[in-house]
């Protein structure tokens, strides 16, 4: 059995100017709502795994669904909120007039989240539990379809990979976080 984890393509939401925390909150929503860019070329390993897959599983976010469609529009696809990226705890508190680029806001909020700050979003512990449920479900699909592809997101892919390894699946310790990258896990009974 084989499960390949692919990170979605690059978002069409490319706004990158300095912004306030409130503006960043809106930026995250736009990032979730926009699709991804079609590429001229995709990584060969990704294309190989997609061609061997019998089903594609995605999150219910547009960038995941659109990425799967671009990689193989004819393959049966299952989408679920279970596979969504982990949230960022974007605060509703005013942080003065501080303006930062979106990538820096994302790093700051991800670090705060890893340190336990939640501001109403899913905690790291809850995300790990969700990743465990996602891994169990993906294994169920792998038992049925033998070779599956999951087109997901950077952080949740890493959490799912860790769960797969904890369940005896072989593969790289860490998933590749580049857009369109593919990391494969196998299980031999």
DSSP lists the bridge partners of residue 61 as none
Entry field: residues in the chain: 189
Q: Residue 105 — pLDDT band, cuts 50, 70, 90?
A: very high
Task: Break the chain into its structural domains and give their ranges.
Answer: 2-186
Residue 91 has pLDDT above 90, yes or no: no
Predicted local distance difference test score (pLDDT) of residue 120 = 85
Q: Exposed, middle or buried, 178 (CB in 10 Å: 0-12/13-18/19+)?
A: exposed
Predicted local distance difference test score (pLDDT) of residue 41 = 94
How much is the average pLDDT of 28-44?
92
The architecture (CATH level 2) of 2-186 comes to: 3-Layer(aba) Sandwich (3.40)
Residue labelled with tokens 């001229």: 40
Q: What is the 3-state secondary structure (H, E, C) of 41-75?
A: CCCHHHHHHHHHCCEEEEECCHHHHHHHHHHCCCC
Residue 97 has pLDDT above 90, yes or no: no
User: Does residue 90 or residue 53 have the better pLDDT?
Assistant: 53
Predicted local distance difference test score (pLDDT) of residue 96 = 75
Interatomic CA distance for residues 11 and 61, integer angstroms: 11
Residue 92 has pLDDT above 80, yes or no: no
Residue labelled with tokens 């790990």: 128
Average pLDDT, the chain: 94
List phi, psi (to 5°) of 97. Answer: -100, 20
pTM, 2 dp:
0.94
Residue 95 has pLDDT above 80, yes or no: no
């Amino acid at each position: 059995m084989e499960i390949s984890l692919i990170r979605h393509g690059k978002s069409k939401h490319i706004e990158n100017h300095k912004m306030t925390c409130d503006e960043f909150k809106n930026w995250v929503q736009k990032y979730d709502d926009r699709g991804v860019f079609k590429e001229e070329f995709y990584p060969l390993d990704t294309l190989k795994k997609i061609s061997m897959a019998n089903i594609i599983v995605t999150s219910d976010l547009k960038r995941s669904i659109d990425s799967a469609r671009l990689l193989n529009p004819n393959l049966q696809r299952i989408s679920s909120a279970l596979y969504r990226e982990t949230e960022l705890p974007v605060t509703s508190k005013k942080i003065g007039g501080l303006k930062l680029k979106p990538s820096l806001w994302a790093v700051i909020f991800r670090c705060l989240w890893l340190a336990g700050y939640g501001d109403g979003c899913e905690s790291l512990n809850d995300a790990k539990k969700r990743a465990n449920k996602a891994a169990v479900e993906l294994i169920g699909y792998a038992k049925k379809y033998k070779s599956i592809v999951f087109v997901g997101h950077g952080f949740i892919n890493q959490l799912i990979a860790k769960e797969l390894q904890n369940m005896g699946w072989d593969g790289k310790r860490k998933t590749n976080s580049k857009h369109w990258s593919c990391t494969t896990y196998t299980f031999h009974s």
